[in-house]
Amino acid sequence: MFNKILSESETHDFLALIQGAENIVVTCHVSPDGDAMGALLAFSHYLWRKGKKAIPVVPNIFPDFLKWMPGTDQVRVYEKHEEELDEVLKDADLFVCLDYNEPSRLLGLEKPVMASNAPKLMIDHHLNPADFCKWVLSRHEMSSTCELLFRVLADVDGVENITNEEATCLYTGMMTDTGCFAYNSNRSDIYYIVGRLLEKGIDKDKIYRNVFYNYSADRLKLMGYMLYVKLELFPEYHASLMTLTREEQRRFSHKKGDTEGIVNMPLQINKSKLSVFLREDTERKVIRVSMRSVDDFPCNKMAAEFFNGGGHLNAAGGELTCSMEEAEQLVRVALKKYAALLTGKCKN
Ligand code: 5GP
Ligand code: MN
C-alpha cells in the first residue's frame, strides 16, 4: 500500500506558501549531483506549469553529463553571476531548498539566501536538519530527495498531473542516488514510484545512457589510472584509499563530475567494507573527502569525527584544509580507530 507522506495540514501549508509567492527561487546543494539536479528541475517544472515565476539557482556549476536534463537551460549558476543574481535573490518571496539541510551546503549562495526574510521550504533526505526553514519535510529513510519529491507532488497535486519532464528528472535522481538501484533501494515503494514514472512515458534506458555513457575518453583513462596506480588497499581493515591531486586532475583534463562514482569502485573487491577517496578541490584550497561503505559501517560517523562532514550511513563526505600527506595520515588514524567495526569484531 502506498501511503500519503504529507498530513492535511502539511499539504495545506505547502500550498499556501506556493500560492502566496510570486518570485520563487529553487535551490540545491553545492556541486549538484543527479538527485540535486533532478529535484531542482522537477520542482521548477511543477512551479512553471502552475504558472509561477520560478528560477532554479545552483551554487556552482553542475556536471556536463547532466546537461541533457529538461530545463537545464533555465538554471542559473550563482558563482558565475553573483552580482546579477543577488538582485534576483533580494526579490525572492520564497526559497525552495532541495537535497540539503544546512545552509553551509550552499557555499557562496548561503549569504544572500540566509540574509533574506523570505520563507524557506525544505525537502531533503539527510540526517539532522538545521533549523532554517519554515516548512520542512526531512526523511532520511528515503532513497533520494527525488523519491520524496514524487510523494510530495503526488500529495499536493496528484500523480496524474506529473509530466514526462518532471518524471524524467525524478527518475534521474532516484537512479543516481541509489547507484542504479544497487543500494539504499530495498523498499518496495521505490518500484511502485518507478512504475508510475514509466507510465509518464520516460525512457529509463536512455536516461541511464545519458548519465553513465556520456563521459570523455580522458575520464575513462582517469578511472583506469586511479585503479591501477592510485588504489591503496588495507586488507586488514577491508578498506581502501585513493587520492587525486590537482596536478593529476589537470593531466586528465578533469571536468566537474569526472570523479563521480570512482569512490564506489573499490567496494567491488570482495569483503570490502569501506572506500575513502581524497581529492584536491580545483576551485577552493581544500581536500574533498568521499566515503562509501557496505552493510552497517557508519561512514557518516567517521566523516563527522575525522573529516568535518557527515552524510548517510553508507555514503558520506567532508572537507579538510591540511596537506594531502596529512589527510592520508588522518585516514590511517581513522581506520585504526574504527578497526573493530571494519574487521567485524564488534557489531555497530
Ligand atoms: P559525495 O561523496 O558524493 O560527495 O557525498 C556523499 C554524501 O555525503 C552526500 O550526499 C552528503 O550527504 C554527504 N556529504 C558530502 N560532503 C559533505 C560535507 O562536506 N558535509 C556534510 N555534512 N555532508 C557531506
Ligand atoms: Mn540526494
Write the pLDDT tens digit of every residue in 189-246: 999 999 999 999 999 999 999 999 998 999 999 999 999 999 999 999 999 999 999 9
Pocket residue to mutate for ligand 1, from 29, 33, 100, 105, most atoms within 8 A of Cβ: 105
Q: Which residues line ligand 1 (CB under 6 A)?
A: 126, 290, 309-312, 315-319
Show Cβ contacts of residue 158 under 8 Å, excluding neighbours closer than 6 positions.
Answer: none
Write the CATH number for 35. 3.90.1640.10
How many domains does the chain contain in total?
2
Question: In the numeric block, which cell numbers belong to residue 177?
Answer: 542516488
Q: Domain check: are 242 and 133 in the same one? A: no
Q: Is 123 helix (H, G, I), strand (E, B) or coil?
A: strand
Beta strands in 127-212 (DSSP E): 135-138
Q: Domain check: are 122 and 264 in the same one? A: no
Q: Whose CA is nearest to atom 8 of ligand 1?
A: 316
For the chain, give the percent of residues with pLDDT over 90: 94
Among 192, 212, 232, which residue terminates a domain?
Answer: 212
Q: Whose CA is nearest to atom 7 of ligand 1?
A: 316
∠95-98-103 over CA atoms, to 5°?
70
Q: Domain check: are 315 and 175 in the same one? A: no
Q: Domain check: are 63 and 186 in the same one? A: yes
Q: Domain check: are 111 and 187 in the same one? A: yes
Residue 300 to residues 15, 160, 196, 287, 310: CA-CA distances in angstroms? 34, 37, 32, 17, 5
Give the closest ligand to the alpha carbon of residue 177.
2
Question: In the numeric block, which cell numbers belong to residue 304?
Answer: 563527522
**pLDDT computed for residue 347 by the predictor:** 46
271 CB-contact burial (10 Å; exposed 0-12 / middle 13-18 / buried 19+): exposed
pLDDT in tens, 308-341: 999 889 999 999 999 999 999 999 999 999 999 9
Q: Domain check: are 96 and 129 in the same one? A: yes
Count of CB atoms situated within 10 Å of the CB of 180: 12
**Dist. CA 27 → ligand 2 center (Å):** 13
Which residues in the chain come in under a pLDDT of 70?
Answer: 1, 345-348
State whether the Cα torsion 97-118-319-285 is positive or negative: positive
**pLDDT computed for residue 345 by the predictor:** 64
Q: Domain check: are 314 and 192 in the same one? A: no
Q: Domain check: are 35 and 175 in the same one? A: yes
Q: Domain check: are 201 and 240 in the same one? A: no
What is the 3-state composition of the chain as percent helix, strand, coil, each rounded to the nearest 5?
A: 50, 15, 35
Which structural domain, as residue segments, surrounds residue 317? 217-343
**pLDDT computed for residue 257 by the predictor:** 87
Write the CATH number for 320. 3.10.310.30
Residue 35 to residues 44, 295, 301: CA-CA distances in angstroms? 14, 22, 22
**pLDDT computed for residue 2 by the predictor:** 79
Q: Whose CA is nearest to atom 14 of ligand 1?
A: 317
Q: Domain check: are 111 and 60 in the same one? A: yes
Show Cβ contacts of residue 38 under 8 Å, excluding neighbours closer than 6 positions.
Answer: 69, 144, 145, 146, 169, 170, 171, 172, 173, 174, 176
Look-up of cell digits 583513462: 221
